[in-house]
Each structure stands twice: as structure tokens, then as C-alpha cells.
Structure 1
Amino acid sequence: MRPINAVTRAAGAVDDVTRRVTERFERFSPGAVDLVLTAVVTVVTVGPAVLTGQSWWVIVVSAVASVPVLWRRHAPITVFLVVGPAMTVLACLHAMPDLPYGTVVCAYTIAAYSPPVRRRAAFVSGTVGILLSLVIPDESPDSYAYAAMSFLTAWALGTGVRARRAQIEMLEERARRLDEERLAALDRERLRIARDMHDIVTHSVGAMIVQAETGPLFTGPDPARADATFATIAETGRVAVQQLRRSLDTLRGESADPRHQPGIEAIADLVELSRRGGLAASLDENGPRRAVSDDVGVTAYRVVQEALANTMKHARATGVRVSLRWSDQLLTVRVSDDGAGPAHPKPGGYGLLGMRERVTGNGGTLRHGPSDSGFDVAAELPLGQRS
């Protein structure tokens, strides 16, 4: 257990040092860091050769083992292939400084920035270079441990920086995706609210207009029917105001509860309002009713709402039939009228477009067009996840 604990503590220490070094160096530009680092490595590598009166060519080799560090980011492998052999030559001449600073910096850089294949090749060649630097001059066994520790420490620090950078990139990518998903969700919600507003306004206001236009015709000869017509106008307006208020509450973030949206149960109210508006409206339901998701329920309601609005505004129909057909996998919603007037809205209209977007968004299909008796709108909706 003791060796494992020691390794764990060492790894934690390396990670802590890596974090501190990274945070400190990130305050400066890479060029400034490399310039200062090269100056330090050159001084501590060339300085001892100058102070001990080494030959000029030993001083040149010391410079070769340190000055190329300036280009470590742009060509780490090339710099390593220059600095490493130069440091080995110094070791064979017993002119190497206390620590192979240039080689250590190169090891750190390759571990931090190079791709996997180059990292493995550099690690092997670095190990061979260290062994040559120790075997040829016949260094003591303590020197092996010292050289290996310095090389592995630099490599571990570089690996930690690379892992930290990869983690930061991953977190940034995750944040970017979350932002994109949030914006996409906002767009979907905006489109949903826009469709709701369109459906509410076109159906309710359209019905009110039709009823208001026909109401005066019955004021004199049929006061009771006129009263019923105006009562229907008032009821339609109240329902529209309630639904508009719910949509606006969603915009304000005050209410996003899907239970506040109308569903299958509210389709009968739409048919009743159409009946009060003067249409011979009926509702048929075939098969046992099944539980559906909130989205499917709202979509079925809006399909019926938009189809009835189009019937009242465009078809000059006298009757309309709404049918709900239940099966194990599908809910089929059909609205058929006996309109003899102009065709329903063009396929490019916002009503039919919004209806199609709702249906396809739930994995269903929408069909609409003239029929033998008038105009049909049929939507097939997968039952999907039960609520």
C-alpha cells in the first residue's frame, strides 16, 4: 500500500504544479515566455562552460544545447533532435551543467504539444540519449536516477498541461453545445408560441367575425337565436383571452406547465362553439380513448382548431364533422366539411404550414385537400410516450 500511496501523492503533486505553472504562464504571451525561458536556459548552460574556461567549441556546443529552445513551440521535434545530441556531447566531455536544462524543456514541450506518434518516438529517443550520456562517460549509478527523475518529471508536467488543455477544450465545446441547444430550444419555443397565437387568433377571432356578421340577421325575426349568437361570441372571446394569456405567461416565464395547454378533452368545446356559430358540427370518436403525451394532445387540438377556423372563414360550409379514430399505435384526427365555396387556404399559408410543423414534429403525417363532399384535413399522430 505504501508504494501506491506514494505514487498517488506524487501524481497529485505533479497535477498541482502543472495547474500553477499553467495559470502563471497563461498571463504572458507565448513569445515572451519562450524568450525569457531561452535566456535562462542559455545562461545556466553556457555560463558554466565560460566560467570554467572551456574551449571555444565546447561553448558553441553549449549554445547549440540551449539557444534552439526559442523555437520549441514551432518545431519541438527538430529542436529536440538538435538540443539532445548537443547535450549528450557535453555529457561525454564532462562539461554538462548540473541539469540538462535544454533537454528537460524539450521533453516538457513535446509531451505538452506533440501528437501521440511523435511523443512516443521522442520518449524512446530521449531515453536512448540519456543512457548514452551516462554510459559513455561512465557516470555513477546515482546519476542514472537523477537523470531519469528530471526527464520523467518534465515529461509528466507536459502531459499534465496537455490533459488540462484537453479538459478545457472539452468544457468549452460542451458549453458551446449547451448554448446551441439552449438557442435551439428558444427557437422551438418561439415557433410554438407563434403557432399557438396564430391558431388562437385565427380560430377565435374568425369565429367571432362570422358570428357578428350573422347576428344582426336574427335580431328582428329571431331574437332568441340572435341572443345565442352573441353569447357564443362572448364565450369565444373569453376562451381566446384565456389561451392568449397562457401563451403570454409562457413568454414571461410565469407558466410553462403543459397541463395548461388544451388537449383531447377540449376538442368537444371547439365543436360546440362551431355548432353555436351556425355550423352543423358533430364529433365522432371510434375506439377506446388512450392516454397520450401532452404534445400529441395539444397537436390534435390545434389541428381541429385550425381546420374549423378555415371551414368557417373559407369554405362557406353548412356542416362539419370531426372524428377521432384510436388504434394501438395511432390517433387519426379528421375534419371534413361540406363547403361549396372557394378552396381552403393555399398550401403555403401559415395555418396549414403551422399545422404540418406540429404534426411532423410529433412524428406524424398530415393530409389535406378537396373531397367528394367538400374539404378534408386528416392527421395521423403516433401515440408516443404516455403521459
Structure 2
Amino acid sequence: MSDLSLIDIVRRRIGALPHLWVDGALTAAILIAQLWPLLSSDERTGVPWDWWGYAVVIAASLPLIWRRRAPIPVLIICLCTGALYDLADHVARQPIWYGGLVAVYTLAAYSGTWQRIVVFAFTIAGGLLLVGSSETALRGTVLFVAAYAIGRATATSRAHAAALEERAERLERERQVEAERAAEQERARIARDMHDILAHAVSLMVVQAEAGPVVVRSDPARAEAAFDAIAAAGRDAMMQLRRMLGVLKDEEAPRAPQPTIDDLPALADQVSHAGLRVGFASTGRPRPVSPDCAVAAYRVTQEALTNIVKHAGANHADIRLTWEDDTLLLDITDDGRGRAINGHGLPSGGHGLIGIRERATACGGTAVAGRRTDGPGFQVSVRLPLAQA
């Protein structure tokens, strides 16, 4: 059931009409109401009313069509013309001049502050000076003040509604901006994940493909293992990409959790099959970490191992997890001396370390990288916050 009342529905539909239509209908209604006393002859004499009354009523009512465009001139014309009604002797009594009341309402609803105050003050003063009796003066003053008050209430309500609408539009724009920002961040995250998956898989496949022809004759078993590692890396990459791209489709796709800290031993084993011996060790009591940190730990390790395979020329690498009171320390080290070295064991212009820092920062952690101080090789150290109890 709709929350809008019948009055609200009617008000909204009338408000949606062109102003000229609404004001034209209002003018016609007021004209009929003011002409009504003149539609019959004088009951005492049976003589039709003087034409002057018809002319004044029409002249005092028709300007209301332009009341919104020129509220002050319309008010002056309606009141001044209505004041000429009694210049003829044989006219019907007009108990209320509705056109003047509507003009005062329009003045209060659509004019500026100082304009409406000054004009309304002159209207009241002029009415008090021109009326013939104190009762008429009191009645006219009460009616004009009431019309003015209703006009101000309408203006205030309209301004309040406009402010609420503007606020709603602003909140909607902010919501859209936030949604676009979230979508952009999600696209960036997906792009980083795809980069990590493809770079890791392709690096392993390239290393194995380069080693295959060398050992295909001298060590067929090792060559077979190399081709198996290529196939395994390709299948793993395809599975992760299919899972990642599935969430972007409208239709339901098979979902599976992203790899986390628990999958690091499997990652070390996968890279070991590519020829780089990778050790895994964990010290301390494991504690819960947030889902984003768990995924970041896996992706950081994957990116670091990819860099080692591609650039370090290492024979051995280690993955060490150190569980502290409120922090997880993740270290990935290697014993390589680097290929195409720029002084840091990585090729110039690489984005691997940048991606590692961004992933760590995104979940409230930090990442540093540099040469090892305890021997040859490179080290990546990442601190990730543990989940709050």
C-alpha cells in the first residue's frame, strides 16, 4: 500500500501541470465566483445590474493568470480595480474579493523579502484608509493577514522540500561516486590478481620450457617432470582465472574461495616442481587474520616467488611465517645474485614490488624489500595485522 495520501497524490499531479494551466483554471474559478452575484437581477426591482460591475469583476480577475510571473503588479491591479467597484450605484454586493486574497497569497509565496513586506504594509494601510467601516476594515485585515500567512507557509514548505530534494540528489551523487570508486578499486584488485596469476604461471612455464630441451635427451624423466609442471601451472592459472572472471558475469558461476595463507605450502611445492627449491616454515602460534590479509599474504608470496624465478637466478628460496602477538610477519628470501640486475636484484621498471606494497597497505600492513644482510640474495618482508578478537 502506498505511503502517499490522496491529497499528496493530487498535489503532486497538479504540481506537475504547466503553471499557466493551473493559474488559468484558478482565474476561471475566481471569475465565476465573483460574477455569481451578478448573474441574476436585483430581487427588489427586477432590473439587471449595471454593466460596470461586470467590467470591474473581469478586470480584477483576469490578471491572476500572470500572478507567478509578476506578483506585485497583479496584486496592485486586482486591488485597485476592485476598489472601483462601488463607483456604480446599481451593482450586486461582493462579500469577499477572492482575486485580491489570491494575489496577496501569491505575493507572500513568490516575492522577495523586502518587496513583499513593503507591498503588504501598503496594502493593509491602503485598505484601512479606504474602507467605510471598522468592521469591514477588521474583516479585510484578518483575511489579508491569513492569505499572507498561508502564502509564507507554502513558500517555507516549498523551500524545505527543495532542500530535501537537493540533499537527496547530493546523497545520490555521493553514493554513485562511492560506487564508482568501489568499482574502480575492485577492478584494480582484479587486475592485480590477474597479473599475479598470469605472471606466476607464465614464469614457471617459461622456466620449465627452457629447461625441457636441455634435458630431454640426457634425462628423459626430468624432461617429463618439466612438461608435467608446465601443464600443472597452466591448469592452475586457468582455474584461478575462470573463478575470478566468473564473478564478473551476470549469470551464476561456480564460486570457490581465493587462496589464502593455508595454501602457501601448496604454492611452495608448485614452484619447487619448476626447479627452484622452496622451503616453508612457520613459527609461533597461528592466529586468525582478516580475509583480505589472508589473500594478500598468498598474493604477496606468489608475486615474490615469481620475481625470484624470473630475475633472481636463485637455486633456493624460503617462505617463513612468524606469528607475533598482534602481527603476522611474512619473509620471502632467496640466494640468487640476479639477472639483468639494476643493483637490487630486479629489472628496472618492474611493478612487482609496487604491487606487493599496495597489497600490504590495502589491508593495514607494511612491506619492505632489499638485499639480504646475512648473505647473497634478496628479501621481501611484509607485516600484516592480525584480526581483532
Interval of TM-score (by shorter of Structure 1 and Structure 2): 0.7 to 0.9
Residue 98, structure 1, aligned to residue 81, structure 2: no
Report the counterpart of residue 170 of structure 1 in structure 2.
Answer: 167
Q: Percent of counterpart pairs with the same letter?
A: 31
Report the counterpart of residue 196 of structure 1 in structure 2.
Answer: 193
1:383 is aligned, of 376, 382, 386, to 386
Cα distance in 2 for partners of 1:340, 1:18 equals: 80
Report the counterpart of residue 349 of structure 1 in structure 2.
Answer: 350
Structure 1's 150 and 16: CA in aligned 2 closer, same or farther, altered over 3 A?
A: farther
| Residue type at the aligned position of 1:251 | L
| Residue type at the aligned position of 2:270 | L
Q: Is the partner of 1:262 in helix, strand or coil?
A: coil
Deviations 1:336-377 (A, max 9, x none): 111112334457423333322222222222212222321111
| Residue type at the aligned position of 1:263 | T
* Deviation for aligned residue 1:196: 1.2
- Tell me if the contact between 2:279 and 2:318 (Cα under 8 Å) persists in the aligned partners: yes
1:279 is aligned, of 270, 273, 276, to 276
Structure 1's 260 and 67: CA in aligned 2 closer, same or farther, altered over 3 A?
A: closer
Residue 331, structure 1, aligned to residue 328, structure 2: yes
* Deviation for aligned residue 1:42: 12
Report the counterpart of residue 75 of structure 1 in structure 2.
Answer: none
Deviations 1:101-132 (A, max 9, x none): 3322121214xxx6xxx4xx778768756754
| Residue type at the aligned position of 1:350 | H
Give the count of matched residue pairs: 352
Residue 289, structure 1, aligned to residue 258, structure 2: no
Structure 1's 154 and 347: CA in aligned 2 closer, same or farther, altered over 3 A?
A: farther
- Tell me if the contact between 2:327 and 2:383 (Cα under 8 Å) persists in the aligned partners: yes
Report the counterpart of residue 298 of structure 1 in structure 2.
Answer: 295
Deviations 1:137-180 (A, max 9, x none): 43265445433432333333333333333333233223322322
Equivalent runs, 1:117-196 vs 2, <5 Å: 118=113, 132=125, 135-136=128-129, 137=131, 138=134, 139=136, 141-196=138-193
Deviating more after overlay: 296-305 vs 274-283: 274-283
- The TM-score normalised by the length of structure 1 is 0.73
- The TM-score normalised by the length of structure 2 is 0.72
Structure 1's 13 and 194: CA in aligned 2 closer, same or farther, altered over 3 A?
A: closer
Deviating more after overlay: 309-318 vs 322-331: 322-331
Cα distance in 1 for partners of 2:141, 2:27 equals: 27
Deviating more after overlay: 215-224 vs 126-135: 126-135
- Tell me if the contact between 2:322 and 2:329 (Cα under 8 Å) persists in the aligned partners: yes
Report the counterpart of residue 211 of structure 2 in structure 1.
Answer: 214
Higher helix share: 1
Residue 269, structure 1, aligned to residue 266, structure 2: yes
Structure 1's 191 and 54: CA in aligned 2 closer, same or farther, altered over 3 A?
A: closer
Deviations 1:282-340 (A, max 9, x none): 11212221222221111111100011011001110011111122223322222111111
| Residue type at the aligned position of 1:195 | R
Q: Is the partner of 1:367 in helix, strand or coil?
A: strand
Deviating more after overlay: 226-235 vs 35-44: 35-44
- Tell me if the contact between 1:85 and 1:129 (Cα under 8 Å) persists in the aligned partners: no
Structure 1's 85 and 220: CA in aligned 2 closer, same or farther, altered over 3 A?
A: same
Unaligned runs of 5+ in 2: 39-50, 87-95
Q: Is the partner of 2:98 in helix, strand or coil?
A: coil
| Residue type at the aligned position of 1:243 | Q
Report the counterpart of residue 8 of structure 1 in structure 2.
Answer: none
* Deviation for aligned residue 1:263: 0.7
Highest RCO, 1 vs 2 (Cα 8 Å, sep ≥ 6): 1
Deviations 1:207-246 (A, max 9, x none): 1110222234334444443333333222222211110111
Unaligned runs of 5+ in 1: 1-11, 73-78
Structure 1's 299 and 347: CA in aligned 2 closer, same or farther, altered over 3 A?
A: farther
Cα distance in 1 for partners of 2:275, 2:159 equals: 74
Q: Is the partner of 2:247 in helix, strand or coil?
A: helix
Report the counterpart of residue 319 of structure 1 in structure 2.
Answer: 316
